[in-house]
Chains A and B, each alone.
Chain A
Amino acid sequence: MTGPVLDVRSLDTVLHTPDGRTLPVLRGIDLTVGPGECLGVVGESGSGKSVLARSVLGIHPRGTRATSTGAVLLDGEDLLTAPARRRAALLGTGIAMVHQDPMTSLNPVVRIADQVTEALTNRRRLNRAARLRTAADLLAAVDVPDPARRARAYPHELSGGLRQRVGIAAALAGQPRLLLADEPTTALDVTVQRTVLDLLDHHRRSRGLATLLITHDIGLLYGRAARIAVMYGGRIVETGPTEAVTTHPAHPYTAALLRSVPRVTGPLRRTLPAIPGSPPDPARPTAGCPFAPRCADARERCNTEAPPVHRPAPGRSVSCHYPLGTPESTP
Chain B
Amino acid sequence: MTPPRRTGRPAPRHDPARRLLRAGSRLARAAAVLLVVVAAAVWLPHLLPGSPAAAALGPTATPEQIAAYESHLGLDQSLPTAAWHWLGNLAHGDLGHSLASGRSVTDELADRVPVTLELFLAGQLVALLLAVPLALASAWRPGGAVDRIATAGAFVWLAVPGFVLGLLLIWLAAVQLRVLPATGWTPFTRDPVQNLRHLVLPALTLGLTEAAVFTRTLRSQLLETLDQTYIAAARGRGMGTVRLLLRRTLRPSSLPLVTLVGIGVGTSLGGSVLVETLFAVPGVGSLASAAIAGRDFPVVQAVVVLGATGVVTATLAVDLLYRALDPRIAHDHR
A residues sitting closer than 8 Å to B (CB atoms) are 57, 59, 61-63, 88-93, 96-97, 99-110, 115, 118-119, 122-123, 154-161, 167, 170, 173-174, 187-189, 192
Contacts and interface: CB of A to CB of B under 8 A. Distances in A.
Q: How large is the interface on B (under 10, 10 to 19, 20 to 34, 35 or more residues)?
A: 20 to 34
B10 A109 contact: no
A159 to B, nearest CB: 6
Interface of B: 4-11, 142, 226-240, 243, 248, 251-252, 327-332
A103 B308 CA distance: 41
A159 B331 contact: no
B328 A108 contact: yes
A103 B5 contact: yes
Contacts of B10: 156-159
Given A89-B238, A99-B229, A189-B7, 17 more contacts: A62-B227, A88-B240, A92-B238, A99-B232, A99-B233, A104-B229, A107-B231, A107-B234, A107-B252, A108-B230, A108-B332, A109-B251, A119-B237, A122-B237, A156-B331, A159-B9, A188-B7
A119 to B, nearest CB: 4
A123 B243 CA distance: 12
A105 B229 contact: yes
The 9 A-B residue pairs whose C-beta atoms are closest, nearest first, are A160-B7, A92-B237, A91-B238, A92-B238, A118-B237, A107-B230, A104-B229, A122-B238, A189-B7
B253 to A, nearest CB: 10
26 contacts: A61-B232, A62-B226, A63-B227, A91-B236, A92-B236, A92-B237, A93-B238, A96-B236, A99-B229, A101-B4, A102-B7, A105-B233, A107-B231, A107-B252, A108-B332, A118-B238, A118-B239, A122-B239, A122-B240, A122-B243, A154-B328, A156-B328, A156-B330, A158-B10, A159-B8, A189-B6
Contacts of B237: 91-92, 96, 118-119, 122, 170, 173-174
A100 B233 CA distance: 11
B7 A159 contact: yes
Given A91-B235, A106-B230, A174-B237, A157 B5 contact: no
A188 B231 CA distance: 21
A107 B9 CA distance: 17
A167 B234 CA distance: 11
A187 B4 contact: yes
B8 A107 contact: no
B7 A123 contact: no
Contacts of B327: 156
A99 B4 CA distance: 15
B179 to A, nearest CB: 42
B10 to A, nearest CB: 5
Contacts of B226: 62
A59 B232 contact: yes
Contacts of A160: 5-8
B7 A104 contact: no
A159 B9 CA distance: 5
Contact of B332 (A96, A104, A118, A154): A104
A68 B231 CA distance: 22
Nearest to A187: B6
A97 B238 contact: no
A146 B254 CA distance: 32
Contacts of A91: 235-238
A226 to B, nearest CB: 25
A59 B239 CA distance: 12
Contacts of A123: 238
Contacts of B251: 109-110
A179 to B, nearest CB: 12
